[in-house]
Amino acid sequence: MSKDARNQDLDLSLEKQRQFDQLVALLAQQGFGDDGPPRETTFAEIEQFGHQAGQMVARAIDAQLTKQHAAHFTEEQPCPTCNEKCPPKESPHDLPLQTEDGEVTLHEPACNCPTCRRDFFPSAYSVGD
């Protein structure tokens, strides 16, 4: 990702921007109270809080999107070895991932191939490293 791409904001609708602004206000209030940062607060302290809040939001987005992504794998999936259709297991495999923003648990759908006698993770063929 280029430096310019990292500095671009998402193109939010007016309603989504309003909701985003409410989230930002809620997080700022949580960090510094109703009156905002005290007079003696440095910009570095404000920036540090912004980074912590951003990392928390990033982890929550990662968790939400991976949960939605896993929902694509509720049907039988082809085994990558023999191509036999295999149903997903009832409970997903919990995989802790270390992201740039901290640890996120991926609830990865898993299937078992009775022919090959192996488990496989269909999302692994869709999600990059």
Phi, psi (rounded to 5 degrees) for 124: -65, -20
Contacts 24+ apart (CB under 8 A), 50-58: 53/27, 54/101, 55/101, 55/102, 56/101, 57/23, 57/27, 58/99, 58/100, 58/101
pTM (global) more than 0.85: no
CA gap 65, 52 in Å, rounded: 20
CA 30 distance to own-chain centroid: 22
* Residue 77, H or E segment: strand 77-78
Per-residue pLDDT of the chain (129 residues; tens, 9 = 90+): 455 555 578 899 999 999 999 999 999 999 999 999 999 999 999 999 999 999 999 999 999 998 888 888 889 999 999 999 999 988 888 889 999 999 999 888 899 999 999 999 887 654 444
| pLDDT at 72 (0 to 100) | 84
pLDDT of residue 97: 92
> What was the pLDDT predicted at 7?
59
